[in-house]
Amino acid sequence: MIISIIFLESGLNKVIEEFKVKINQEIYNVTIRKKISNKHVYLRLKDKNLLEISSYKYFSKIDALDLINRQKEWIVKRREYFFNKEKNNNSYLLYGKRYLKNNLDDKELELYYKEEAKKIIPKLVDEFAKKMNLFPTSIKYRKNKRTWGSCNYRNGLNFNILLIQFPIEVIEYVVIHELAHIKHKNHSKSFWNLVEKYCQDYKQREKLLKSFL
């Protein structure tokens, strides 16, 4: 796998810098966004041919090329996500199976997911809450891009309506995971021991959660 620079824009003092790189015969546009407040560097693939780097002020283009070179395998793999998204644009997932959208638009699909979430998740919460003897103060649903579930300091649980896309065993894992947070507000060894007690194959289910879509 060879990576090479194609074009480098001048102007080191610019907050935004742009250039192009080549990975496996594919050309990627790269944008560096520098912020004085940034203490770390973040690399994101925003589209199948668009890389974005958020960095601190003195992060150079040479640093960017080094980062891209080290992450090229991840970039190539992540690129497949966008092709799959385009390929599956006319279908949707429900409990691990794919169906044609037909005339279902995105808003209608989101509402459908929310209705399904309200049907299945309370039943799973009730089932495992009794087994674990851990009871939430509330259950809420929302569409979230970053998390599949959460437990607040009042022991209220929030679930991502997009969980309905996954097989039941994955939804069960997220429910158990969030119920365990009622007792342990962290990811300590005690937390994972509690999760494993009620979901022995949680590592496999977590892997499926991260790779299924």
Instruction: Judge whether residue 11 has pLDDT over 50.
Output: no
Report how far residue 124's alpha carbon sits from residue 176's, in angstroms, rounded to the nearest whole number: 9
Where is the domain boundary, 29, 62, 87? 87
Where is the domain boundary, 87, 120, 138? 87
Same domain (yes/no): 117, 149: yes
Residues 18/34, Cβ–Cβ less than 8 Å: no
pLDDT in tens, 76-127: 888 887 777 766 678 889 999 989 888 888 899 999 999 999 999 999 999 9
What's the N-to-C CA distance of the chain in angstroms?
A: 26
Report how far residue 178's alpha carbon sits from residue 129's, in angstroms, rounded to the nearest whole number: 10
Same domain (yes/no): 73, 119: no
Report how far residue 99's alpha carbon sits from residue 165's, in angstroms, rounded to the nearest whole number: 11
In order of 21, 116, 125, 186, the CA distances from 191 in angstroms are 43, 29, 18, 7
Residue 11 belongs to domain spanning: 3-87
Specify the pTM: 0.65
The CATH number assigned to the domain holding 103 equals 3.30.2010.10
Same domain (yes/no): 17, 55: yes
Which tokens sit at 93?
């997932």
pLDDT above 90 covers a percentage of the chain that reads 62
pLDDT in tens, 176-209: 999 999 999 999 999 999 999 999 999 999 988 8
Residue 103: what pLDDT?
82
Same domain (yes/no): 140, 162: yes
Number of domains in the chain: 2
Where is the domain boundary, 72, 87, 102? 87
Same domain (yes/no): 110, 188: yes
